[in-house]
Amino acid sequence: MDCMTCIAKKQGSESVPSTTWIKDFIKSTMQEMMAELQDSRLPEGPLDSPVLSGEDSSSEEESLALFATDNTARLIKKVRSTMDYFEEIEALPSTSQVTKRSKTFPVHSVMKELMKREWKEPEKAPTITKRHKLLFPIQEEELQSWEAPPKVDIAIARLSKKTVIPVEDGSGLKDPMDRKADSILKRSYTAAVAACKPALAASGVARSTRFWLKQLDEDITNRIAREELSSSLSKISMAIDFLCDATVEGVKLSAKAMALSTAARRALWLRNWSADAVSKNSLCTMAFEPGHLFGAELDKLLESLSSSKGKRLPQENFRRNRRSFFRARRSPVRDSEFQKDKRKRDNDSFRPFRANKGGDRPSFQKKKSSF
C-alpha cells in the first residue's frame, strides 16, 4: 500500500500521461502479486485451470483457457482498487451504482476517447503505422491466406456485369451505393486483420509471462540471488509494457472496424433514396454515434432543411424530369382515331380507284375487259 500511496501523491502533483496509465497501474500491483505467489502456487500444467462451461463456450476454447472464470470478480476488485488512484471522482455515486460497477471491468476515459476518435471519420481507412508493423510482425506464410480481403469468384462476378475480361473487384456492381458499400467492407476487413495481429502477438507474450512468473515463484522459494530475481522482474515488466501497447492498438482498430461496418450499412440503407450521389456520400461520412445508424447529425440536417417535414429526407422526382425529353403519350381514344385515319390514308394511296366514285375505272381495267 505504501507504493500505491506514493503513486497517488504523484498523481495529485502532476498528471499521468494518457499513454502510460495502464503500464503504471499494472506495475504497481507486482509487489502484491509477488506476495500472493508465496502462498498460492501457479498451476503446474498450462491447461489445468478450471473453466466455467456454458452454451456459448466450445471444447476448444475451454482447452485453451488458462484463467478460471470463478476468479473474475476477484480480478475486477483488484483492478478497480488500482485504477481508483488514477481516476478523479467528482461526485460520490449511489449505493446501487457502486454495487453494479463493482461487478464489471472499468473502462478508462482514455480508452473512450480513443474509440471516439476513430468514430469521427467512419469511412476513413485504418491507419497502419510503421510502429504497428514493427511491434507486431507476423510470419509472411501466415498472412498470405487471410491478410488481403477475399476476391470475388469469377462465376459470381459475371452475374452482376458481363465483361470481356473477368472483373474481380466491386466495379462490376451497377449501383453506386453498392460499389461504395463493397469498398467500405474491404476496409473493415483490413481493420479486423490489423486488430488480429496485436491479439496474436499478445497471446504469445501473455503465456510466456505466465511461465516467467512461475519460474520467479520457484526462484524466490529456492532463495535465488537478488540479481537474478531483478533480471526476471525486468523481463516481466517489459512483457507487461508490450501487452499494454497491444491492448491500445486492439481497441483502436476494433473501434475503426465498428465505424466502417456502420458506414457500409448506411450505404445499404441509402440505396433506395432518390437523391444525387454527392448527397448520399455526405450522409455516409457523418460521425458515428453508438446506438443510431446516423444519429444527431442527421437530425440537425433535417431541421436545417425547410422542405423536410416529419423527419423525412427530400426526394427527387426523376420521372417528371425524364418526361420532358420524350414526346407526350396520346390518350387511348386519340390513338384509336389516329390509327383509323392512318389506315384510311394508306388505303387511298394504294387503291386510288375507290376514291373515284361514279367515274370510270383506270385504263388498264378497260383493256382487261376488252379481251
Domain that holds residue 114: 107-205+249-319
Instruction: Give residue 121's pLDDT band: very low, low, confident or very high (50, 70, 90).
Output: very high
Q: What pLDDT, in 10s, does the model give residues 190-204?
A: 999 999 999 999 998
Does one domain contain both 262 and 152?
A: yes
Please indicate, yes or no, if residue 215 is contained in any of the structural domains. no
Is there a single domain that holds both residue 288 and residue 256?
yes
266-290 residue pLDDT tens: 999 998 888 888 888 889 989 998 8
Residue with cell 423525412: 312
Give a yes or no: residue 36 inside a domain.
yes
Please give the pLDDT value at position 344: 66
Q: What is the pLDDT of residues 352-371, one digit of tens each?
A: 555 555 555 555 554 544 44
Domain boundary among 319, 340, 362: 319
Q: Give 320 or 304, the one with higher predicted confidence.
A: 304
pLDDT at 53 over 50: no
SS3 content of the chain, % helix, strand, coil (to 5): 65, 0, 35
Task: Determine, yes or no, domain membership for 41.
Answer: yes
Provide the domain count of the chain.
2
CATH code at position 184 = 1.10.287.3160
Sign of CA dihedral 56, 61, 63, 69: negative
Query: Which pLDDT score is estimated for 299?
Result: 85
Grid cell 461504395 — which residue?
180
Q: What is the pTM of this model?
A: 0.61
Whether residue 149 is found in the same domain as residue 262: yes
Q: Is residue 174 part of a domain?
A: yes
CB 106 within 8 A of CB 79: yes
